[in-house]
Amino acid sequence: MVQILGLVLLSFFVISLLIVPYINLLYRIRLTRQHQKTRDIFEARTVIFDRLHSHKAGIPVGGGTLIIFVVTLLYLVVVNLAPFFGVERTSIYPFKKEVQILLFTFLSFGALGLYDDLRKTFGFKRANFWGIRFRYKFLIQWVLAFIIASMLYFGLGINIVNIRFFDIINLGLMYIPFAAFTIVAFTNAVNISDGLDGLASGLLLICLAAFLVMSSSILDTTLSVFLGLWIGSLIAFLYFNIWPARIMLGDVGALSFGATLAVTGLLLGKPIGLAVIGGMFVIEVVSSLIQLLSKKIRKKKVFEVAPLHLWVQYKGWQEPKIVFRFWLAQLVLAIFGLWLSFF
């Protein structure tokens, strides 16, 4: 565990050195949030969202790109040279296959998110070839999720769900659609939550800390090293992401981190624990889903605006207050999830 904490500090130091020049680079290439009239998945205008968030125009997006690059590079170095860092390389899965699944998830969903950031910023949405509607992006998410779920099932032999106080359920081949659903759900949950300064990255940091405790307890250093590097980079990023933000995760970070968070829970055999530890992400995506289904089926809204963080902002809560209270709620849920896992 001491070595893992050292890796947390290592990635924190590297991101801290690079992030200010990186922010300046994003300003120079104008990869910033644009003044735009946003629309939901049904192509309807989101007037309240635009009014509440118009002041965020001009903030650089794509902070997730730096984190993905640094964490991937450091991870490849550390896991291959683990003995030189004093880290004993242990794992409950085949080493190479676990590394491949983690990095494939991290990079593939990051690439999809990066394309979306570029499209929104530089106007690719106006070109027939380059524009991807939400339905097609959603389909690509499912394709990637099924690939990853198949890697978990066939490559690592994972096919069970451990439900505390009940039993271990063997899903067999049905594990693949179950895992794919989990990945897609958390991909969009983190993306939806990335609406206020520091919200998604802070919630994610709490989840990852809980999962680091769990992975360390089962001596899966392959996963623990990845989580440690990821946590350190997020701490450094969060310094510049809290209100008022100087940089945002962007879709590149939100999609990558949401999918990889889900895969972490699946690798630990704790998909139910994932739902508890990542409870605020679940609440965010459920509130958004309820709103969308109501608009589609009933032709009316349940809330004035969704997801939950946007609704309480509309009700008059100040942005920092929303973020801090969501962090506290996530912290309690993470502690509860850990208690359930070790009870």
Read out DSSP for 56-110? GTT-B--HHHHHHHHHHHHHHHHHHSGGGGT-----SS-HHHHHHHHHHHHHHHH
pTM attached to this predicted model? 0.92
Residue scoring higher pLDDT (146 or 47): 146
Cβ–Cβ under 8 Å, residues 343 and 164: yes
* pLDDT-wise least confident of 14-28, 156-170, 276-290: 156-170
Q: Which of 111, 123, 78 is nearest to 232 (CA)?
A: 78
Q: What is the pLDDT of residues 273-317, one digit of tens each?
A: 899 999 999 999 999 999 888 888 887 888 888 899 999 999 889
Backbone conformation region of residue 131, classed left if phi is above 0, alpha if psi is from -120 to 50, else beta: beta
Chain centroid to CA 226: 14
194 labeled binding residue: no
Q: HSE-up of 162 (CA within 13 Å, CB side)?
A: 14
- 220 carries a ligand binding annotation: no
3-state helix, strand, coil in the chain (%, to 5): 75, 5, 25
Measured CA to CA, the distance from residue 109 to residue 30 in angstroms comes to: 23
Domain ranges (residues) in the chain: 2-342
For residue 255, give both structure tokens. 């999609």
pLDDT band, residue 42 (cuts 50/70/90)? very low
Are the beta carbons of 321 and 299 closer than 8 angstroms? no
- Residue 326 sits at the vertex; the CA angle it makes with 71 and 203, to the nearest 5 degrees, is 10
Q: H or E segment at 296?
A: helix 279-297
Token code pair at residue 22 = 């990186």
Which helix or strand (DSSP H or E) is residue 162 part of?
strand 160-162
Residue 126 is predicted with a pLDDT of 47
* In contact, 75 and 229? CB cutoff 8 Å: yes
Calpha distance 257→7 (Å, rounded): 19
Per-residue pLDDT of 92-149, as tens digits, reads: 888 889 999 999 999 999 999 999 888 877 765 444 334 456 778 899 999 999 999 9
**Of 120, 117, 157, 94, the residue nearest 248 (C-alpha):** 117
Between the two ends of the chain, the Cα-to-Cα distance in Å is 22
Helical (H) or strand (E) element with 28: helix 2-29
Q: Is 94 left (phi over 0), alpha (psi -120 to 50) or beta?
A: beta
Residue 191 has pLDDT above 90, yes or no: yes
